[in-house]
Amino acid sequence: MARTDARSHAATATRCFTPAAQRSLLGWAARELRVLPWRATRDPWAILVAELMLQQTQVARVAPRYRAFLARFPTPAACARATVGDVVTEWAGLGYNRRAVALHRCARVCVEEHGGALPAALEPLHALPGVGPYTARAILVFAFERDVGVVDTNVGRVLARMRGAPLAPAQAQAAADAAVPRGRAWLWNQALFDLGALTCTKRAPACARCPLRRSCAWRRAGCEAPDPAVGSAGVSGGQSRFEGSDRQGRGRLVDALRARGHVARAALAAAAGWPGDAPRARRVAAGLVKDGLAASDGRGGLRSA
């Protein structure tokens, strides 16, 4: 049944994205596509770095860190030779520091198992540390220009609104794959990214200037509630509150390690921003050690990994 549904939605996507709709979106992209540093390369390692940095982090914050990171770690081998602490330090300002640890592990696997390069097939890419289905497909498209679709939160929103109904994960992926014009996957996927980011936005979609407005089922229905993008595959539901969270304390401890290289047990609570809650600071510090972001100093404190 699931395969039948996926084929049905893929066929629906093909009807929605007619050749005329495809030409309209690609023409829009030729005029409106953002100039971003990771769009000027087909280097698989640089694409991977960008994709991991862009997870849950805004483009404006990523661009300068992306350039600096690649200047220091231009290849998987350069990253693999560094310590985890070096990589985490270069990740400063991006948050979600476990991504930096995963990237370091990925670089080592590339060196040890793939001759210092990223593989060019879906399954071995997906097997790399920190590389999920989305990232593996993004590398295939943006580095190797394979004709597959990539479903992030922006693309998922566009697909659901074009269909006029929420999509399950397999259905969204099938629809994204079916919509790709042969030989144009790189530009097509970038166009969908930017359409969702700039025009088909979450709260105030600019339907009047959307190049797909004539093909969009949700617009033809008058954009009535509920929005089909809500709960649809790939569409994020928003992040939990950061202020006062464990994530905030983790970030503060990682920043302290970047600055000092060591945080003694007695200083953990203050460094985490919870001077009156030492047990919570110790629990969060233990999580950093477990995730590979820090090492224990053997006395209850932390040191750089």
Q: What is the DSSP letter of 48?
A: H
Neighbours of 303 (CB within 10 A): 17
Share above pLDDT 90 across residues of the chain, in percent, rounded to a whole number: 80
Catalytic site includes residue 243: no
pLDDT of residue 112: 97
The answer to whether residue 230 scores a pLDDT higher than 70 is: yes
Q: What is the pLDDT of residues 4-57, one digit of tens each?
A: 555 555 555 556 789 999 999 999 999 999 999 999 999 999 999 999 999 988
Domain regions of the chain by residue span: 2-35+148-220, 43-142, 246-304
3-state helix, strand, coil in the chain (%, to 5): 60, 5, 40
Mean predicted confidence (pLDDT) in 243-251: 86
Alpha carbons within 13 angstroms on the beta-carbon side of residue 222 total 2
The answer to whether residue 3 scores a pLDDT higher than 60 is: no
Q: What is the pLDDT of residues 87-143, one digit of tens each?
A: 999 999 898 899 999 999 999 999 999 999 999 999 999 999 999 999 999 999 999
Q: Select which of 51, 90, 123, 243 is catalytic.
A: 51
Size of the chain in residues = 305
Do 229 and 202 touch, CB atoms closer than 8 A?
A: yes
Mean predicted confidence (pLDDT) in 214-225: 94
pLDDT of residue 113: 97
Average pLDDT, the chain: 91
The answer to whether residue 189 scores a pLDDT higher than 50 is: yes
Banded model confidence at residue 166, pLDDT cuts 50, 70, 90: very high
Banded model confidence at residue 238, pLDDT cuts 50, 70, 90: low
Indicate the CATH number of 2-35+148-220 among 1.10.3470.10, 3.10.20.70, 1.10.3720.10, 1.10.1670.10.
1.10.1670.10
Letter string b/e over residues 22-33, b meaning 16 or more CB atoms within 10 A of that residue's CB = bebbbebbeeeb
- Rounded alpha-carbon distances, angstroms, from residue 72 to 36, 81, 87, 91, 131: 19, 11, 9, 11, 21
pLDDT of residue 169: 92
Mean predicted confidence (pLDDT) in 293-304: 91
Banded model confidence at residue 1, pLDDT cuts 50, 70, 90: very low
Share above pLDDT 70 across residues of the chain, in percent, rounded to a whole number: 93
Q: Which residues contact residue 177 at a Cβ distance below 8 angstroms, ignoring those fewer than 6 apart?
A: 10, 148, 149
Banded model confidence at residue 180, pLDDT cuts 50, 70, 90: very high
CATH code of the region 43-142: 1.10.340.30
Mean predicted confidence (pLDDT) in 140-167: 96
